[in-house]
Amino acid sequence: MSLALLHWLTDPWAEALTRRALLEVVLLGVSGGALGCWLLFFNLAYSAESLAHALLPGLVGAALLGLPLLLGGAAGLLVAAVAVAVAGRIPGLDRDTAVAVVVTGLFGLGVLLALSPDTPAGLQGLLFGDVLGVSDGDLLLASGLVLVVLVGLSLAHTRLLVVGFDRLSAPGLGVRPLAVDVTLLVLLAAALLVAVQGLGNLLVVAVLMAPASTARLVTRRMGPMMLASGLIAVGSAAGGLYLSFYAGTAAGASIAGMLVAVYVVIAAGGGAAGALRRALTRPATA
């Protein structure tokens, strides 16, 4: 039985493509897990999803033209930012509505291009990802992303805390909220541009937000939360690849599903523990 268990644990990693996939999602999980905690703290979860969807036409256009995906994704983000800014100036249209209209329109355009019969084979991977097909270049980009995100968050840690806790008083402490917001959004854009190539446009937000959301159920302190978020992301990624290998499911979707499942389990466990604690401390009645 011990030998069978050993084979069960090691068989998925016998192939180089699964080992590369694991390394890719570990790198993305570490960077995305840390960044996601700050995105939650600054209430930017919706912005993360919006930016991920808005860059899809640029990715598809780059693939169709044979250009680097990073270039297409950056162009897509620029077009989305300009479109949101212009739409937000329309009289009677609030900013949230403008963002929703622009993002929905751009995402719909990207889907139409990606699912068109005339598009090259494999272009649909931009929607759903192909984590099992990562290249040396993808791993190099993911490694660079980890370095950029962790160094950037480390350098901006104090400023992020100041603005996050008291935006109005931050200028009096010598911290400019606009500069902090821009820093966080630039890191988010970099994470999306790199992660979307392996996980796809529809799943990339799961790696950014699900681990951080789960970690916040366990702790409210930013340092432990970032550590827990990274560990949850890495563990869920490994679990998702095991599920993909033995159940024959799509790797990216399996990882996203595992991330959500971990959140549900911890949230349910916390709710049950809270109910039990309240029941035990409730005063006795006659």
52: Cβ contacts below 8 Å, ≥ 6 apart: 192, 196, 201, 204, 205
- pLDDT band at residue 123, thresholds of 50, 70 and 90? low
DSSP 188-217: HHHHHHHHHHHH-TTTHHHHHHHHHHHHHH
Which residue has 């690849």 as its token pair? Answer: 241
Which residue has 């799961």 as its token pair? Answer: 206
229: Cβ contacts below 8 Å, ≥ 6 apart: 33, 34, 36, 37, 211, 212, 214, 215
- pLDDT band at residue 215, thresholds of 50, 70 and 90? very high
Q: Report how far residue 199's alpha carbon sits from residue 189's, in angstroms, rounded to the nearest whole number.
A: 15
Is pLDDT of 286 > 60?
Answer: no
Give pLDDT tens digits for 62-120: 877 777 777 888 888 888 777 776 776 677 766 677 778 888 888 888 878 777 666 66
- Mean pLDDT, the chain, rounded, equals 81
Using CA of residue 176, residue 178, residue 180, residue 183, what is the dihedral sign? Answer: negative
* Average pLDDT of the segment spanning 15-31: 86
Q: Report how far residue 89's alpha carbon sits from residue 95's, in angstroms, rounded to the nearest whole number.
A: 8
Is pLDDT of 13 > 50?
Answer: yes
Tell me the two tokens of residue 85.
């800014």
pLDDT at 81: 75
Give pLDDT tens digits for 157-214: 889 989 888 888 888 888 888 888 888 888 888 888 888 777 777 678 888 888 999 9
Q: Report how far residue 21's alpha carbon sits from residue 104's, in angstroms, rounded to the nearest whole number.
A: 30
- What is the separation, in whole angstroms, between the first and last Cα of the chain? 56
Tell me the two tokens of residue 79.
């077009």
77: Cβ contacts below 8 Å, ≥ 6 apart: 51, 54, 55, 58, 189, 192, 193
Please tell me the CATH code under which domain 2-131+138-274 is placed.
Answer: 1.10.3470.10
Tell me the two tokens of residue 246.
């033995």
Sorted by where each begins, the domain ranges of the chain are: 2-131+138-274
